[in-house]
Amino acid sequence: MHLALATLLGGGGAPVNDGPIAAGIKNFSNWLTEPTRYSVASILAVVGILYFRKFFSQVWVVTAFFALSTAYFVFAFQDPNFNAIITKPDNVPIVILFVTVIFFSWLSLRRAVINDERTKRGEPTLEGELAKQKVFTWPDLVYSELICLILFTAGMLVWSILITAPIEEPAATARTPNPSKAPWYFLGLQELLVYFDPWLAGVVLPSFIVVGLCAIPYLDLNPKGNGYYTFEERPFAIAFFWVGFLLFWVSFVILGTFLRGPNWSFFGPFEFWDLHKLEPMVNVDLSTYFWVELLDKPRPDNPFVREAPGIVALIGYFLVLPPLLGKTVMKKMVEEMGMVRFNVFMHLFLWFALIPVKMGLRWTVNLKYFIGMPEYFFNV
């Protein structure tokens, strides 16, 4: 109700008079941020940055990036649709998240590049050089802690005085707002709901994230890179964490906050959040592909027969693939890690990989479920 009111007052996407360049930038932004392109572009960005890390870790690159982002931000701020979302007080932290994550990723990459070069020349790492010196906790550490705290508190106070914490209308269980979003730090999981059912996106996958994080120290047996930044001594570990944390967590939070509107439909940053925007649902189950399209038959009634192709596919994926890889390509890995570690690792990894696999299949062939058994609430 109040959303509808806002629509009326806001004039339903007030007409914006843009010059051709401004309109071009806005249209391009809306086009690029569509979830498929957004995800592919961010994958390419991560791979590209890690590969060309020497270039990207230069100071002027990150300075130029932040300068351009600021310019873009100032430009976008004039747009009523962009403005409406970015100026919500609760979205300020997401902007902070964006800036800090990019800055610290750059910083770590820079130190990794420098350290890797030093190691190649046989010199100690940046950390190694300083580690030889020991200083007193009082005053060196206590003072820098104190200065941090004072500056930080001052910043918090200014922020708190400038921006009042919002409060919406009183709770009404009968009136569902649209969009209904989970707290922002869970929006990555809510984004997964597009591809998976709640039992996977909301229960199983988060549990595996926690279990997987706990397992990291026991699965990563590479003794190198302990206590200093490096890329070349542990390329797989770093790349994996970048993909997991930066792509599938942080960038999905940003996507969910700024680009998902009513009905969880996609909206470009300059698009009006129209309640009536409908995205056609044309997704098809694997069983339909198999029985109807491939064999040209109706789907069998027995759910287990009907879903046999998906069941076989997933058994192959989770149970046949690991031993197969362990016997062939990853033989060395099994020898180094041992059977137990290898299997735990493979299963966690395959669950993780299921996310991009399913996303890819959704984008390319509109796959809905590998196994779709609504009879038992069992949809994968």
Partner 1 sequence: MTKLFNYIRESQIWKSVFRHGYPDTPRNRTLAVLSNVFLHLHPVKVRRSGIRLSYTWCMGGLTFFLFLILTLTGLLLMFYYRPTADKAYEDIFALREHVPIGVMREMHRWGAHLMVISVWLHMYRVFLTGSYKPPREFNWNVGVILLVLTLLLSFTGYLLPWDQLAVWAITVGTNMARATPFLGHEGPGAALVSFGGIDFIHAGDDVRFGLLAGRFVGEGALLRFYVLHCVGFPLIAATLMAVHFWRVRKDGGISGPL
Tell me which residue of 250, 221, 226 sits closest to 102, measured CA to CA.
250
Q: Are 101 and 42 in contact (CB under 8 A)?
A: no
Which amino acid is residue 111, in one-letter code?
R
Which of 122, 223, 280, 298 is the binder for partner 1 (CB under 8 A)? Answer: 223
Q: Are 271 and 81 in contact (CB under 8 A)?
A: yes
Near partner 1 in 162-181, by CB under 8 A: 163-173, 175-177, 180-181
Question: Shortest gap between Cβ of 281 and partner 1 (angstroms)?
Answer: 20
Residues 6+ apart with CB under 8 A from 99: 66
Question: Shortest gap between Cβ of 184 and partner 1 (angstroms)?
Answer: 8
Number of residues in contact with partner 1, rule: CB under 8 A? 97
> Could you say whether residue 161 binds partner 1 (CB under 8 A)?
yes
CA dist list (Å): 4 to 133, 144, 249, 272: 64, 52, 32, 13
Q: Which is nearer to partner 1, 36 or 178 (CB)?
A: 178
Near partner 1 in 81-120, by CB under 8 A: 90, 92-93, 96-97, 100-101, 104, 107-108, 111-112
Q: Which is nearer to partner 1, 13 or 235 (CB)?
A: 235
Q: Which is nearer to partner 1, 112 or 346 (CB)?
A: 112
CA dist list (Å): 18 to 26, 55, 70, 128, 321: 9, 36, 20, 55, 54
Question: Shortest gap between Cβ of 257 and partner 1 (angstroms)?
Answer: 12
Near partner 1 in 245-284, by CB under 8 A: 245, 249-250
Which of 241, 294, 315, 335 is the binder for partner 1 (CB under 8 A)? Answer: 241
Q: Which is nearer to partner 1, 176 or 364 (CB)?
A: 176
CA dist list (Å): 165 to 72, 98, 160, 162, 312: 27, 21, 8, 10, 52
Q: How far apart are CA 355 and CA 137, in angstroms?
A: 46
Q: Are 231 and 112 in contact (CB under 8 A)?
A: yes
Q: Are 102 and 242 in contact (CB under 8 A)?
A: no
Query: CA-based diameter of the chain, in Å?
Result: 79
- For 379, which DSSP code? E
- For 299, which DSSP code? P
Question: Shortest gap between Cβ of 172 and partner 1 (angstroms)?
Answer: 7
The stretch among 224-232, 284-292, 293-301, 351-359 that binds partner 1 (CB under 8 A) is 224-232
Build a one-symbol-per-residue string for 46-85: x at contacts with partner 1 by CB under 8 A, - elsewhere: ----------------------------------------
Q: Which is nearer to partner 1, 30 or 53 (CB)?
A: 53
Termini Cα distance of the chain: 35
Q: Which is nearer to partner 1, 64 or 156 (CB)?
A: 156
Q: How far apart are CA 136 and CA 108, in angstroms?
A: 26
Near partner 1 in 303-362, by CB under 8 A: none
Question: Shortest gap between Cβ of 47 and partner 1 (angstroms)?
Answer: 17
Build a one-symbol-per-residue string for 120-159: x at contacts with partner 1 by CB under 8 A, - elsewhere: ----xxxxxxxxxxxxxxxxxxx-xx--xx--xx--xx-x
Q: Which is nearer to partner 1, 60 or 377 (CB)?
A: 377
